[in-house]
Amino acid sequence: MFDFLKKKLKEVAEKITGKQKEIEEEKEKIVKEPEIVVKEKIEEKIPEIKEEVKEIKKDKSLFSKLKEKIVKKVLEKKLTREDLEPILENFEVELLEADVAFEVSEKIKNDLIKELEGKEIRKGSEKEVVVEAIRKSLSGILDLPKINLEEEIKKKKPYLMVFFGFNGSGKTTTIAKVANFLTKKGFTCVLAAGDTFRAASIEQIEEHAKKIGVPVIKQKYGADPAAVIFDARKYAEAKKIDVVLADTAGRSYTNENLMEELKKIVRVNKPDLKVLVIDSLTGNDAINQAKFFNEIGVDAVIFTKLDVNEKGGAILSVSYLLKKPILFICDGQKYEDIKYFDKEEFLNNLLSF
């Protein structure tokens, strides 16, 4: 999972670590062979005055003064912004390839410079320090509010969750997974076939409901989804069902009125949780999807298809933009392939190199 993003982060960590090691090697060399290093340093800076350097070397007092200054400078050298900037020059473009939005990689880059510039780094701990700096930055991006779904459901029954997302994001499958997950936790669920637009969507949700053994409330194709969800809520109230999980039509280019439809669903039914389902493979378009649905207000996000995702950047990008809890992540086509998002586990996986 996320091998591509992992590779990109590993590369940058290695480059910074390498630079730090170069600094250390120079320090060791200047302690062992000060004359040679000092000569190199002088020539490196002013190659065109090689002859004069010879003269300087003859002048013992001038040379030793210069030597003292250079040795001190080398021994005091730490990573600087000037060391880090060229390493991180193409960072944004590299991470863009892993679906990390430009603003996000820019933030990571600035965080790294801020964290590592002038830092005292013990020999042998270079990699650890650099990886820790990356972790700190990513952890900040994923510092999102949390939702304790099970506690929320216990507080308000029936608890209405409305799911929205682009076509094919895995919305219907995810609703079935969440219903199955909650059923296993001892909650009762009903599904609402609120996608009355896409052909076969009602049959699809019915099939899922049958497999996981929960009821589904439906009307005909073309019916008002707000009304279908309203019916499902009334059904849940009457039958004392804990959770209503409502499907909605996916965004597609032929469904221009979707936003109005979603606003009506929200106005009429006042969901307890508006859940955006995002296919993590969507790449950089994930940001546009998040912006689009945020117009009606997103309360939580679920990312799907992590099992087939090499990149992983969409999670960082959408989180940075929306700053909303990641409720679940889905990593497969089976009903069991769903779990609560665990930031530490995510970071450990990403930084295990």
One residue of 261, 272, 299, 331 binding ligand GDP per CB under 6 A: 331
Q: Which of residues 18 and 332 has its CB atom nearest to ligand GDP in the complex?
A: 332
Q: Contact between 169 and ligand GDP (CB under 6 A)? A: yes
Closest distance to ligand GDP from the beta carbon of 228 (Å): 15
Q: Which of residues 163 and 187 has its CB atom nearest to ligand GDP in the complex?
A: 163
Q: Contact between 337 and ligand GDP (CB under 6 A)? A: yes
Q: Which of residues 82 and 256 has its CB atom nearest to ligand GDP in the complex?
A: 256
Ramachandran quadrant class, 46 (left: phi over 0; alpha: psi -120 to 50; beta: rest):
beta
Site for ligand GDP in 223-282 (CB under 6 A): 250
Q: Contact between 333 and ligand GDP (CB under 6 A)? A: yes
Q: Which residues pair with 276 in a beta bridge?
A: 164, 301
Site for ligand GDP in 300-319 (CB under 6 A): 304-305, 307-308
One residue of 20, 173, 269, 317 binding ligand GDP per CB under 6 A: 173
Q: Which of residues 226 and 338 has its CB atom nearest to ligand GDP in the complex?
A: 338
Q: Which of residues 102 and 292 has its CB atom nearest to ligand GDP in the complex?
A: 292
Q: Which of residues 188 and 204 has its CB atom nearest to ligand GDP in the complex?
A: 204
Residue nearest to ligand GDP (CB): 170
The contact set with ligand GDP (CB under 6 A) reads 165, 167-173, 250, 304-305, 307-308, 330-333, 337
